[in-house]
Amino acid sequence: MTKTTHKIYVSSFYVITILITLILSLYGYKYYTTPIDQRFFLSQNDLLEPNGFIGHGLGVIGSFLMIVGVAVYMIRKRIKFFYRFGYLKHWLEFHIFLCTVGPILILFHTAFKFGGIVAVSFWSMVAVVLSGVVGRFLYVQIPHSIQGQILSLHELNSQSENLSHQLKFDYKLPEEIITKIEEISTAHRYKRTGLTTSILFIIQDYFGIKNVISHLNLELKKIGISKIERKKIVKTAKAKLTISRRIGLLHTTQKLFKYWHVVHLPFAILMFIIMVIHIAVEFVFGYRWIF
């Protein structure tokens, strides 16, 4: 998958998710904003209530998407035979897409009415989605190869040295600029970061790097480097700073990611158990959709 194809691949997920949310919101706005005890009198009630044709369908499709989203990612991640089918990173993006659209459809399936044991499943789903956002953030902080394997500290240091070489010899930057980049990109400044403050530190550092890159761009402009060259240099410097942050926080981030699994997995299991019970009860009481 080329860079352009990958951008289209990811962008299509964003577009589809936003479109689905907008269409359902606009179509059912009057129904969903009407008090629950008055919805029965609306013409849309037979369609949008949880057991209505559309409402029921949203629940079925949403549940199916979540099951598929979890299953395909777990299969690709754990069974060696499927390693040849695309990069893990792309499968993770597909997993996130399905496990975002699925809960959105289920939210509209409930018609924003939460009660009983299903409410436990719903709030577990919310916890899974929110923890998934945090997990994705932490996953990105742990350097991976394009195949999805975690890079070793040696590989990261090698990458960092190659980027330094590029800045110094390929782009022939002035010594004072090189010195500034090396000072900012030292991994030692992350040593004092504790486990509890690391996420906040990562966020602050992310914006801090943006400021450094902005100042670097101005410095390069002052010394008369062309726009095309500036873009290349800035991209390389940004990669250097990002790798340095990941080297400095590698151990802490890996620990946080392990703790994240402790939170994410139980909620996911609870959600699916109650979902299965809910579906079984629906079938026992004769509720069907198009089958």
The CA distance from 53 to 32, in Å, is: 16
**For residue 207, what pLDDT is reported?**
74
Is residue 32 exposed (0-12), middle (13-18) or buried (19+ Cβ within 10 Å)? middle
| pLDDT grade for 128, boundaries at 50, 70 and 90 | confident
For residues 244 and 185, what is the distance between their CA atoms, to the nearest angstrom? 5
Chain centre distance of CA 239: 20
Q: Tell me the backbone φ, ψ of residue 283, rounded to 5 degrees.
A: -65, -40
pTM score, whole prediction: 0.68
Does residue 159 register a pLDDT over 90? no
Lowest mean pLDDT among 3-17, 43-57, 114-128: 114-128
Q: Which among 98-112, 120-134, 246-260 has the top mean pLDDT?
A: 98-112
| β-bridge partners, 144 | 150
Alpha carbon distance 82, 200 (integer Å): 36
Ranges 79-88, 93-102, 135-144, 148-157: which has the least confidence: 148-157
